[in-house]
Copies of this chain bind each other. A is one copy, B any other.
Amino acid sequence: MDIGFIGCGLIGGSLIKSLDKNAAHNIHFFDTDPDTVKKVENSTHARFMESMDALKNLDVVFVCLHPVKTIEFIKSNVSNFKKGAIVSDVCGVKQSIADAVEDLLIQNGINYVGIHPMAGREFSGFDYAVDNLFENAYFIIAEPKNGADISPLKQIAKDCRFKSIVVTTAKKHDEIIAFTSQLAHVVSNAYIKSPTALLQCGFSAGSFLDMTRVAYLNENMWTELFMMNKESLCTEIQTIINHLEEYKTAMENGDKEKLKSLLKDGRELKEKTNAER
């Protein structure tokens, strides 16, 4: 296949490196940063796209930009994509992207299929891209409205050595991701804000580090993602607040048995989710 990547950050870059290592596709890429372009050319076989005319030769195009720029890029290049091609994106929300571009693409004879590679790091940019980022990760495909053939994307997921492919709806993706990913970033970012955080040196261990790892985030990207999924995310934030208040109330009431029972409930749910993985 002729596959294109628009944007070579952590995800775009890691997809390019994985495909370059494991498969024999023709890989094309575009990035606005000259340093990144050099790095991609020096470390992979991918070819730089001199202009957006090159889009017309591509079977699959992955737009690997932040959400707002993803939408802008797709809208402004509708006339450049090859008829029948798959245009995809890798954003952490799927419904808002689909709402913005899917009908427009279909009207122009192009298929839109959003994906979400469920891997990441707390750092961004091609410098952190690696060819094995996805080896233990899920590859989520949001079902296209027009029933387009998603098998090319499945093949690419296999080539990138994803652990498993999950096909779902954009709506379901967004609801669950609000909990598994977005809430984790909010809670981690909130956790570090206690005044006690400035005294933690010498008093912390693994649980603190785990809890605050993703507090280090790109606020520009995550603001876009959160705003595009705010209803589900606000529901999840309220849910954890309600639960946190239960432990606090039990302690304030001196109710050991209630506190123990609350902790037991959480431990058992954790066992259950572990068993399901």
Contact = CB atoms under 8 A, between A and B. Distances in A.
Interface residues of A, number: 93
Contact of A252 (B118, B190, B234): B234
A200 B180 contact: yes
Q: Indicate how many identical chains form the complex.
A: 2
A270 interface: yes
A274 B237 CA distance: 26
B236 A138 contact: no
A239 B194 contact: yes
Contact of A215 (B120, B206, B267): B267
Nearest to A121: B206
Interface string A173-207: 10111111101111111111111111111111111
A52 interface: no
Nearest to A262: B189
Contact of A247 (B166, B190, B196, B248): B190
Given A193-B243, A248-B234, A251-B234, A214 B203 contact: no
Contact of A205 (B180, B233, B259, B264): B180
A251 B62 CA distance: 29
Contacts of A259: 223, 226-227
CB-CB nearest 7 A-B residue pairs: A189-B266, A219-B263, A179-B196, A184-B207, A215-B270, A190-B243, A230-B251
9 contacts: A120-B207, A180-B200, A186-B244, A187-B240, A198-B272, A201-B273, A207-B213, A226-B247, A230-B252
